[in-house]
Amino acid sequence: MEPSTASQVATDALAQATAQPELNMFQFAAKFMSDGGIFMWVILGMWAVGLAVAFERWNRYRTYNVDGASLMATIRKFVIGNEISAAIQACSESNALLSLVMKNGLKRANQSKDQVQDALEATILEVVPKIEQRLPTIALMANVSTLFGLLGTIQGLIQSFQAVANAQAAEKAQLLAMGISVAMNTTAMGLLSAISLMMLHAYIAAKGERMIKEIEENSVKLVDLLGTKKAYKQDHQDAA
């Protein structure tokens, strides 16, 4: 075959390989997944797992969270009024973790400061793992998605090099385009998965940290409130 003829065949093959009819969004997504090869589906699965865990955590945090300032104001009002049972009841009306911690501390309101603090610390140790549960899974899915995207890129480059080295001129351009599609599509998919999951992980982890800090802060306030109330009561008894 003459050089000019071989060049024309390769050009036609490349044009045929790269020419695409106008596709709608779903057709484009299907072709994007198909052209990327098997690793696209692996990344998609990891992306789905990460998103499912992130949604579960976000939904769970809505149950765990409560307006700490409002709850503490209610507790302070009842404690000052010497209505500990009413304060415990107010905490029992919510499923929030802060309410659980406050309730367990209030149950020891008539005991020593150290015993109240021990009850609060024990409950905090119980609730903090509930907040942090499954968060590492989101980060893991993000990191592994990136690695599988890189692995798909390597696979696509290998296919491209094999096409250049071994394929006939008529097939070379098409195989080269297929290899590049595998490389670029898996890279893009891996980055999309990783970036979105990393952003979700950062947001949810920050929300969890705020909840933990709020629990710790209000626990200290409760210990101080009960201690002050007990000291005030003792002073009045001594004066009497």
36-94 tens-digit pLDDT: 778 889 999 999 999 999 999 999 999 998 888 899 999 999 988 889 999 999 999 88
Closest CA to 106 of 115, 116, 114: 116
Same structural domain for residues 102 and 207? no
Q: Whole domain around residue 72: which residue ranges?
A: 65-132+215-232
What angle separates helix 169-239 from helix 113-132, to the nearest 10 degrees?
Answer: 170
Per-residue three-class SS string for 69-133: HHHHHHHHHHHHCCCHHHHHHHHHCCCCHHHHHHHHHHCCCCCCHHHHHHHHHHHHHHHHHHHHC
**51 exposed, middle or buried (CB, 10 Å; 0-12, 13-18, 19+)?**
middle
Residue 240's SS3 state is coil
Banded pLDDT at 214 (limits 50, 70, 90): very high
Same structural domain for residues 210 and 146? yes
Q: Tell me, yes or no, whether 158 lies in a domain.
A: yes
Q: Would you report the helix, strand and coil content of the chain in percent, each value rounded to 5?
A: 90, 0, 10
Q: Tell me, yes or no, whether 224 lies in a domain.
A: yes
Q: Tell me, yes or no, whether 32 lies in a domain.
A: no
Percent of the chain predicted with pLDDT > 70: 76
Give residue-wise pLDDT tens across range 103-160.
999 999 888 888 999 999 999 999 999 999 999 999 999 999 999 989 888 888 887 7
Question: What is the average pLDDT value for the chain, to the nearest integer?
Answer: 82
Q: Tell me, yes or no, whether 24 lies in a domain.
A: no
Same structural domain for residues 49 and 164? yes
Q: Tell me, yes or no, whether 16 lies in a domain.
A: no
Same structural domain for residues 110 and 221? yes
Q: Does residue 156 contact residue 180 with C-beta atoms inside 8 Å? A: yes
Same structural domain for residues 197 and 104? no
> What is the number of structural domains in the chain?
2
Tokens coding 217: 């802060």
Same structural domain for residues 154 and 172? yes
